[in-house]
Amino acid sequence: MFFQTLDIFGTVAFAISGVLVAMHKRMDPFGVLIIAFVTAVGGGTLRDIMVGVTPVSWMRNITFVYVIIGATLFAIIFRNQLKHLRRSLFLFDTLGIGLYTVVGIETGLVANLHPLICIALGTMTACFGGVIRDILCNEIPVIFRKEIYATACIIGGFTYFLLKEFLQDQNYLFIIAGLVVIIIRLLAVIFKISLPSLYKSED
């Protein structure tokens, strides 16, 4: 139940982030819904296909479809309250990657995968929906920029497995690992921390 709650919260966060980007691009209501949908389920769909779970989770549980539609309507109705689009987008995107990282890790554990593969699966679950969103909206995906994004997911994943030997309560593990992802992402943006670029200008 706790695991599904995290999954639903992650779906809401990513759906709203998709709505914010789509509205910023002045899309019509149908376009907004599509972007919200692919943002919310893109990472989970890739995750399920990779571990051989078919039909994928959102096709087997109609609750996720209702949640995405509800989150989309919420974001549209309260768009004036979310008028600081970039700040709101950052917030919901950050919450989404934190929650989806631990959901992806748990899926890998259920499939009896190696911890490193679980971390990779959690990172892909967290990032892939945003990649699809940005590509469809003609933006360079955040994961391909210098910003700390996938790196936060990877550190959160390692935190999960490091603490796994000391904490027996799996719920606490999920919460701590998710918070690590969120805090690292927040601190990286606040203090303008980024990965070094491999490109060197030729003067």
Q: What is the pLDDT of residues 46-94, one digit of tens each?
A: 999 999 999 999 999 999 999 999 999 999 998 888 766 557 778 899 9
Q: Which residues of 35-69 are buried (b: 16+ CB within 10 A; e: fewer)?
A: bbbbbbbbbbbbbbebbebeebbbeeeeebeebbe
Q: Is 197 part of any domain?
A: no
- Give bridge partners of residue 147 from the DSSP assignment: 194
Domain-located, residue 195: no
Does 49 fall in a domain? yes
Is 10 inside any structural domain? yes
Q: What are phi and psi of 138, to 5 degrees?
A: 60, 40
Indicate whether 153 belongs to any domain: yes
196 in any annotated domain: no
Total domains present in the chain: 1
* Residue 35 to residues 27, 29, 112, 131, 170, Cα–Cα distance (Å): 9, 10, 32, 11, 33
pTM of the full structure: 0.90
The list of the chain residues with pLDDT below 70 reads: 83-86, 197-203
**Residue 132, pLDDT score:** 96
Quick one: pLDDT at residue 2? 78
Domain range for 163: 2-190
